[in-house]
Structure 1
Amino acid sequence: MLRLVTYGVRARLSKAAALLLLAAPAQADQVHLLALGDSLTQGYGLIESEGFVPQMRAWLAERGHDVRLVNGGVSGDTTAGGLSRVEWSLTPEIEGMIVALGGNDLLRGLPPEVARENLSGILEVAEAQDVEVLLVGMSAPGNYGADYKAAFDAIYPDLAERYGTLYHPDFLGGLLEDGETPADATDLMQPDGIHPSAEGVARIVATMGPAVEELIARIEE
């Protein structure tokens, strides 16, 4: 008799557990993102946990996002380098991509039209693979002249509109007030004056984070 009663209780509990599982909301799948960039993305000069990708992962996790963010930053990479590796970097599980390239094109004074063509090629690969994109702009310094700056700065909003991507105006925008350059934010930069410190990266992440959340929202639609 005791065995029969115990069995009956277990059966009722099993049915109740099954009903609870059916009623529970489905868990969201993990979102897979790639950050395609240069040393700013890679985390040059910082310990691993202080770099852009780990800090962005932590920022997103604090807001309840289950995200795998792959560090596709290569120090010294130009837009041409990004184009050469984007296809094999977009492994099958990648659903969205942060594109943050152009800083080394600027350091080398490469023609804006070349950077535009390379970035366009990257976005075409993403489009062909049905990968959502957040395009992150770079602001040219004034030492190459007003025409160069205007031509380079226009690349990012133009391509974002053309390809229907999300757009964040400036990777270093979280550090700078209007008209400032990295030289004006020395307390947030490493000694080279080019790469942000850990605190600087934290500000960049806080500024860019909402745009990455928009990218996640597009993927989850």
Structure 2
Amino acid sequence: MRFKAALFHFVVIALTALAPRLAAAEPLRLVGLGDSLMAGYQLPADESYTAQLEKALKDKGFDVVIENAAVSGDTTSGGLARADWSVPDGTDGVILELGANDALRGIAPEDSERNLDAMLARFQERGIAVMLIGMLAPPNMGDDYAARFNPIYPRLAEKYGVPLYPFFLDGVVTESRLKLEDGMHPNGEGVAVMVSRSLPVAEKFLSNISQSRK
């Protein structure tokens, strides 16, 4: 009986010591909160930005799962309205990509910034890390609009101390071969370019989350 009691005591101690390691072995759970550019408009699910980024990160050795919570046509106000239920408890990080539709609709940049600010503040309150993805105003909106819209993302990234990928469509926006027939959305190859260019920021983002777990 003493042997069994001692063995049981040993097992309890071993499992207790092992518990933090088992928790650390859980995959990093990210949520992509964005619009059609992230959702994978007219693309197979495995060609969306979140799917291709998840694969690229796994190829780099990261144990990560990225849920695609992007909605085509979404604005910053729409993202703010659904931010809490689109990003469940237990999420380690959010890839926040919103604002393109605001610019296309000519929504006041001050309103867009206020909505993004509120989302960042809310995620900070919930202890959820954020990688912010920026957007640039379309040229047809004019210089004044661009001067008000384009600085939003760097300013918020600095305010909240979050990593920023400055322009989501970098390397794609001027290449027709990388876009769908509508001339606005990336095709699968275009998304691959977006993933490749944003990957270093995403890697650093995940590394920081992993370090905070320890």
Smaller-chain TM-score bracket: 0.7 to 0.9
2:135: which partner in 1? Answer: 138
What is the 5 A alignment of 1:21-100?
Answer: 28-100=25-97
Task: Tell me how far apart the structure 2 counterparts of residues 90 and 67 of structure 1 sit (CA, whole Å).
Answer: 16
Task: Tell me how far apart the structure 1 counterparts of residues 93 and 110 of structure 2 sit (CA, whole Å).
Answer: 26
Does 2:185 correspond to 1:188?
no
Specify the code of the residue in structure 2 equivalent to 1:86. A
Task: Tell me how far apart the structure 1 counterparts of residues 138 and 73 of structure 2 sit (CA, whole Å).
Answer: 18
Specify the code of the residue in structure 1 equivalent to 2:61. G
Task: Tell me how far apart the structure 1 counterparts of residues 128 and 54 of structure 2 sit (CA, whole Å).
Answer: 19
Deviation at 1:29, TM superposition (A): 2.9
Task: Tell me how far apart the structure 2 counterparts of residues 41 and 143 of structure 1 sit (CA, whole Å).
Answer: 23
Question: Does the CA contact (< 8 Å) of 2:104 and 2:138 recur in 1?
Answer: no
Specify the code of the residue in structure 1 equivalent to 2:162. T
DSSP 3-state at the match of 2:31: strand
Does 2:158 correspond to 1:161?
yes
What is the 5 A alignment of 1:104-115?
Answer: 104-115=101-112
- How many aligned residue pairs are there? 192
2:6: which partner in 1? Answer: none
Deviation at 1:57, TM superposition (A): 1.0
Question: Does the CA contact (< 8 Å) of 2:31 and 2:91 recur in 1?
Answer: yes
Residue by residue, what CA displacement relative to the aligned partner does 1:72-116 show, whole Å, maximum 9, x if unpaired? 100100000000011112211101110000011011111100100
Runs of 4+ in 1 over 2 A off after TM superposition: 25-29
Q: Percent identity?
A: 43
Task: Tell me how far apart the structure 1 counterparts of residues 171 and 203 of structure 2 sit (CA, whole Å).
Answer: 16
| Root mean square deviation, CA, Å | 1.6
Task: Tell me how far apart the structure 1 counterparts of residues 145 and 41 of structure 2 sit (CA, whole Å).
Answer: 27
Deviation at 1:51, TM superposition (A): 1.1
Deviation at 1:138, TM superposition (A): 0.3
Residue by residue, what CA displacement relative to the aligned partner does 1:118-149 show, whole Å, maximum 9, x if unpaired? 00011011110011111000011222221110
Task: Tell me how far apart the structure 2 counterparts of residues 141 and 49 of structure 1 sit (CA, whole Å).
Answer: 28
1:12: which partner in 2? Answer: none
1:210: which partner in 2? Answer: 200
Question: Does the CA contact (< 8 Å) of 2:41 and 2:185 recur in 1?
Answer: yes
TM-score norm. by structure 1 comes to 0.83
TM-score norm. by structure 2 comes to 0.86
Task: Tell me how far apart the structure 1 counterparts of residues 144 and 25 of structure 2 sit (CA, whole Å).
Answer: 47
Deviation at 1:28, TM superposition (A): 3.7
1:201: which partner in 2? Answer: 191
Task: Tell me how far apart the structure 2 counterparts of residues 68 and 88 of structure 1 sit (CA, whole Å).
Answer: 18
Does 2:206 correspond to 1:220?
no
